[in-house]
Each structure stands twice: as structure tokens, then as C-alpha cells.
Amino acid sequence: MTEHLRPEPDRYWNVDEAIGEAHFWGEAWTVRLAAHVAEEPYRRGLSDLVPLRAARGTRTYVQARPYILVPDFRLTAELSPTTGAGAIGQVRDSEWRGMKGERIGRGQAWFYHEDRVLVLWECFLEDRYQTGEAPDDPNLHVVWEGFERFLGARFPTARQLVTTADDPLYETAAYQRFLQMRGYERLNARACGKTVRAT
């Protein structure tokens, strides 16, 4: 990638990689994932989706931002000296400054090292980028699958992947069908999960 096409790095997002291909506006777009990955201590609590054996330990937090690269155009406008109905000015110059990342969704996960459990807390597309009836949107499947692969590659010792049994963004029955399509089974009233690797 030439320097002109490379977006400026953001220091918070310490990992960046391609995770799949989605379709927006009748075109194929490479979906990239910028992620902040950091270690943090934890204590077992009432808010845990599944029971954890270790009362305390280390978990890795992953905040993810799926995005696509779009052209970065800058316009110089000259405002009219008078106000009134109609145009308030006109464009005097335009410049293409390369490409910039435009966020299309969000993701969040934790890996509990001692229990070898990955918790995928959220993964969704922003409203503007939903192309189908959520959560049956094919682009949501692309982003979710890409995030799962990303997590699996980062945490190869994980034995279980867990997520919430419902999501306020979606109708519960439709969300449950989505999770079943992805191989998840109900674990308890709050969580669904699947085995990543046999123990």
C-alpha cells in the first residue's frame, strides 16, 4: 500500500488486520478490524455470564472496531457575505488526502486465561451499514465470523466461546436463531456458548 493510501495510525488501536469481505452499496469492501488488546486483573463476580472456576486472575480485554477504508476528500469552501435563502457559499478547492477508516460496527470480548473461556460480549453493525433484516444481515455474519476468527487466533488455548443469550438491539427470537446458525447452544438464562477446542 502506498503512503498516500495508508490511513494514519491511531495509537490506542494496537492491532489491525483484515477479517473478511462485506457488500455495501452494491460493491465488495474489505472489512478490517482495529482492536485494542490489553491485560487486566479480574475478580469473579455476579455479573459473569458463566461460572468461573478461578476466583481471580488475569483476563485480556479486546475492544474492536470493524471498519472499511473510504476516500478522504477535503473541501475548501468560501461562504457568501450575505445571508438569505439558497446557497451559503461555494466550493473553491478539493483535495484527496488518501484513505481513512470508517467504523461500521463494534465488538467487545474478554479472554479469561485461568478458565480458558472467551466471552464475546458484543458484536454488531452500525445502523447505516445494516443491509438486511438484523440479525440475519449477511454482513453481520461476516463481521461476527471475522471477530470470532480474530479471537481464536489471539487466544489459541481457549476451550469455550460464550456470548449473551439476548441482545437489546435485536428481537430475542431472531437473535437466538442467529446464534444457533453460528453453532451456539443455550448454557443458562443469560448465556449461549460453544466448544472451541476439546479439553
The more confidently predicted of residues 110 and 78 is 110
Q: How far, in Å, CA of 31 to CA of 45, rounded? A: 35
All three cell numbers of 47: 455479573
Q: How far, in Å, CA of 190 to CA of 165, rounded? A: 5
131 within 8 A of 23, measured Cβ to Cβ: yes
Q: pLDDT digit string (tens) for 129-151?
A: 998 887 889 999 999 999 999 99
**Beta-carbon count within 10 A of 36 CB:** 16
Confidence (pLDDT) at 174: 92
Stretch among 76-80, 84-88, 147-151, 180-184 having the lowest mean pLDDT: 84-88
Confidence band for 9, pLDDT divided at 50, 70 and 90: low
All three cell numbers of 170: 435485536
Average pLDDT, the chain: 89
Q: Quick one: which H or E segment has residue 78?
A: strand 56-79
Confidence band for 35, pLDDT divided at 50, 70 and 90: very high
97-123 burial code (b ≥16 CB/10 A, e <16): ebbebeebbbbbbbbbbebbbbbbebb
Phi, psi values for residue 198, rounded to 5°: -65, 145
Looking at the predicted structure, is the pLDDT value of residue 4 above 60? Answer: no
Confidence (pLDDT) at 3: 43
Q: How far, in Å, CA of 77 to CA of 75, rounded? A: 6
Confidence (pLDDT) at 198: 55
Distance of CA 10 to the CA centre of its chain: 16
Confidence (pLDDT) at 48: 86
R_g of the chain, CA atoms, integer Å:
21
Residue range 169-193: average pLDDT? Answer: 94
Strands 160-164 and 117-125: parallel
Q: How far, in Å, CA of 166 to CA of 146, rounded? A: 20
Domains assigned to the chain:
15-71+102-195 (3.40.630)
Looking at the predicted structure, is the pLDDT value of residue 67 above 70? Answer: yes
All three cell numbers of 97: 488526502
Bridge partners for 58 per DSSP: 41
Q: pLDDT digit string (tens) for 149-174?
A: 999 999 999 999 999 999 999 999 99
Stretch among 71-75, 157-161, 179-183 having the lowest mean pLDDT: 71-75
pTM here is 0.84
